[in-house]
Amino acid sequence: MAGKIEEAGRREAGQLGLRLWVLDRLLSEEMDNGMKILELRVKRAGDDGSESLVIVKAAVDGQRYVAFHAASNASEAIRGAVDRITNADIKWKEDKPYGAA
């Protein structure tokens, strides 16, 4: 049993490592659509802190955007956010100051 758990952990670490490599590329290069990823943050979310939330900030042509992705843990949230960015499946919203209409 312990061997299976260790193997699963190595697989998950490998998948997360790949996403971090992709994230590094996203942070250093402009995407095909002209968008530039500026920031990616991970924080605990949910009423009881049981989820992880990734907040992604980006800009294109001087306009700033924000997107969110939540998952049950930080590694899943990072993997999901990076996958959604690279697959152009993440929903971008105009990044407005908190409380602005």
- Alpha helices by DSSP H, 29-100: 74-86
* Average pLDDT, integer, range 9-28: 87
Tell whether the model's pLDDT for residue 1 goes beyond 80.
no
Q: Measure the CA–CA gap between 23 and 7, rounded to whole angstroms.
A: 24
Split at pLDDT 50, 70, 90, the class of 15 is: confident
Q: Measure the CA–CA gap between 11 and 21, rounded to whole angstroms.
A: 15
Split at pLDDT 50, 70, 90, the class of 65 is: very high
Q: What does the pLDDT read at residue 101? A: 62
Collapsed DSSP state (helix, strand, coil) of residue 4: helix
Walk me through the domains of the chain, giving residue ranges and CATH numbers.
2-94 (3.30.160)
Q: Measure the CA–CA gap between 66 and 79, rounded to whole angstroms.
A: 17
Q: What does the pLDDT read at residue 79? A: 93
Helix axes 2-28, 74-86, angle to 10 degrees: 40
Q: What does the pLDDT read at residue 94? A: 96
